Amino acid sequence: MKFDTPATNNPIDQLRVVGKPVDRVEGVLKVTGTARYAFENHDVVPNQAYGCIVASGIAKGRVESMDLAAASEAPGVIAIVTAKNAGPVGVGDFYVAKALGGPEIQHYHQAVAVVVATTFEQARAASKLVRVAYSRSEDGAYDLSSARTSTIVPRNNPDSGAGDFAAAFASAPVQVDQTYTTPDQTHAMMEPHATVAAWDGDRLTIWTSVQIIKWALRDMAKILGIPKEKIRIISPYIGGGFGGKASVLSDAVLAALAAREAGRPVKVALARPEMINNTSHRPATIQRVRLGADRDGRITAIGHESWSGNLAGGAAERATLPTVSLYAGANRMLRLRLATLDLPEGNAMRAPGETPGMMALEIAMDELAEQLKIDPVQLRLLNDTQTEPAPPHRQFSTRRLADCLRTGAERFNWSRRAAQPGQLRDGQWLIGMGMACAIRGDNVTDSGARVRLGVDGKLTVETDMTDLGTGTYTILAQTAAEMMGLPLEHVSVRLGDSSFPEAPGSLGQRGANSSTSGVYAACVKLRELVAKRLGFDNQPLDFKDGEVSSSSRRAPLLRAVALGELVAEDRVEFGASRDRLAHQTFGTHFVEVGVSASTGEVRVRRMLSVCAAGRILNPKTARSQVIGAMTMGVGGALMEELSIDKRHGFFVNHDLASYEVPVHADIPVQEVIFIDETDPTSSPMKAKGVGELGICGVGAAIANAVYNATGTRIRDYPLTLDKLVGNLPPPM
């Protein structure tokens, strides 16, 4: 199915099942422990062995020698894989770090060997017996601020802008020119990276935890140098990813290499310290934001520059991305700069680009509002725009940011905010309110599905789409049930298998909108097969309550499969006409905090998120996505920071004991409001994405609230109490 014109009335618009806040269809499996994650796979294939990696003890240098004698003779050891016996090991298209290091070392904890034994305990014990001699490079670069002077323009991210920024900024009567920093962060997902690999001759099957099956298939084939037709990837349940499992990482590659060397299936799972230093993370940024405005508050110049670091060949953190489209302003300048750092790889983490970029831009907007003596909400309303502010000046497909601002301000009682910081107290707590806007791209990717209507009247959906815990199983079941007029309990969904039709996977807020559109397309074809079987010719049909009806007659759906199962497969292909409009999602965040006047401790007291994200396919699962994103935003604002040992080049706090994330006690009442909108130019579903919109701007809203409470402006995240103590009003 080609989607090249705006969607008109279609079966989805009946909203009998789609749009309802139904429980997750796989929820019972999750809470009873019968939804098997990759880490829990112990018996998917007979005769499974276990592999443990040997991680590099240096960040940059070479392996000079490796003594395997003691490890080889340890109980239960079957094989040891190193760069010397692994054969050619390449690099995929998504991650730049090699899964197996040696002799060159790219980063700390890069795997240099994997030890395979009969049991996990034997493999772990033997891995400790491997002795590696290194020559450490003395020129490693581990500090972004020091490397800032030797950066490059990153590939595929040239400088951009419009008008004459320098002249407009210089002549602006009101100016903001500030620098903000965000730290390195880790995904800290629940489920560790884990893979079981098995060879059958020259064919490889892996059971793994990966977000995008087609990328994993492509990259595994490229890394191992085998045709992707000889690889099968199975990933039905994923215990969180946030971009950290976009494609295959070292666990999958090393399990495949180890299984080939050992001659039997092998499971490799990464321990938490190995995950944090061995896989990928959100890289730190240094951002300079310049805003120029006239006395009325209209932005005349907007400049955003960002510096980040990565391994050689890696990409930059695109922190300037939200500034491209969020606010009006004729004169614009956007620049990214990339430094080569010898730290573990920087890559995608929930809303890459927008999350750190909004943490800077939205503080700068509040600083501009303060200079202008304009309310922060009013300033943003003044600079709203229905067309892209830079060429080609496309109109937004839908942009209800103003509705989000007004709705949020009313619901949050924003009028009670003190315009002068440090004025409100609740005992020893200084009380402040803050807000920020949110923007995230409404991306789509071609997506396919197969649907099977069985002789029992039950429908099965098959697609290689994945579910990170986001509700994909449920919304795909809702889509199919709506299209075929069946109860939700008569639909089953099978996901995460490369033998199924190709879907976009879960990344970049595109999964829900794209994959439901793929199921829609397959069901359109199935409806045509049913109509033909039942003798309906070119008539508008209604599929409802297990029946098919036209204006003149009706027939049971079950009659269409009296002669056997019906199978239909199709995919949605998004045409070029969609790009004639700018597709984004929008929102606002409002936060109230309390700051202890004695200690500087920050407590979030209440939060509100208002989202304009097209048709909401399931308000319950969508709300869960947004409050999860809001929670991650709290972590990014107040506590999350990977601490770097700048002598030896590694993340010191590489476990969940010392890398702090929010817990229940940190999170107050969270409210989510979805603006009622549909976008017929976005997809047949008239939906958008929402899973990453909920984190964009949260950090800045908290920072702005802390300033409103204390009068102390912090521009370096996280907002830890040491940055507040000494700058607080005296306790009462």
pLDDT (tens digit, 9 = 90+) per residue, 506-562?
999 999 999 999 999 999 999 999 999 999 988 899 999 999 999 999 999 999 999
CA distance 352 to 578: 23
Residue 496's pLDDT band (boundaries 50, 70, 90)? very high
Among 627, 598, 595, which Cα is nearest to 611's? 627
Q: What are phi and psi of 78, to 5 degrees?
A: -105, -40
Residue 692 annotated in active site: yes
pLDDT interval class at 444 (50, 70, 90)? very high
User: Which run of H or E residues covers position 487?
Assistant: none
Strand, helix or coil for residue 525? helix
Provide the 8-state DSSP code for 687: B
What are the structural domain ranges in the chain?
2-31+444-577, 48-138+190-240+245-278, 285-442+583-723
Q: Position 412: which residue type? A: F
Percent of the chain with pLDDT over 70: 100
Segment holding 251, helix H or strand E: helix 250-262
Q: Which residue in this structure is represented by tokens 């200079």?
A: 371
Q: What is the pLDDT of residues 300-358, one digit of tens each?
A: 999 999 999 999 999 999 999 999 999 999 999 999 999 999 999 999 999 999 999 99
Q: Give the residue from 253, 207, 202 showing the smallest Cα distance to 230.
A: 202
pLDDT band at 727 (very low <50, low <70, confident <90, very high): confident
175: which 2 tokens?
A: 């100016």
Q: Return the percentage of the chain with pLDDT > 90, whole number.
A: 96
Q: Do 629 and 690 form a contact (C-beta atoms < 8 A)?
A: no
Contact assessment for residue 419 and residue 587, using Cβ atoms and an 8 Å cutoff = no
Task: Give the mean pLDDT of the chain.
Answer: 97
- Specify the pTM: 0.97
Q: How far is CA 111 from CA 97, 254, 493, in A?
A: 11, 9, 37
Per the CB < 8 A criterion, the answer to whether 175 and 169 are in contact is yes
Nearest by Cα to 630 from 708, 695, 710: 695
Picking from 127, 70, 63, 65, the residue whose alpha carbon sits closest to that of residue 101 is: 63
> What is the per-residue pLDDT across 69-128, written as a single tens digit (0 to 9) for each?
999 999 999 999 999 999 999 999 999 999 999 999 999 999 999 999 999 999 999 999
pLDDT (tens digit per residue) in 199-222: 999 999 999 999 999 999 999 999
Terminal alpha carbon distance of the chain: 67
The domains spanning 2-31+444-577 and 285-442+583-723 adopt the same CATH topology:
yes
Class of domain 285-442+583-723: alpha beta
Can you name the residues that pair with 335 across neighbouring β-strands?
A: 305
Q: Which of 305, 367, 502, 692 is catalytic?
A: 692
Do residues 472 and 465 touch, judged by C-beta distance below 8 A? yes
What pLDDT does 730 receive? 77
Please check the confidence at residue 421 and state whether its pLDDT lies above 90: yes
Q: What is the pLDDT of residue 538?
A: 82
Region 654-659: mean pLDDT is 95
* pLDDT computed for residue 539 by the predictor: 85
Options 3.10.20.520, 1.10.3720.10, 3.30.365.10, 3.40.50.720; which CATH number does 2-31+444-577 get? 3.30.365.10
CATH number given to 48-138+190-240+245-278: 3.30.365.10
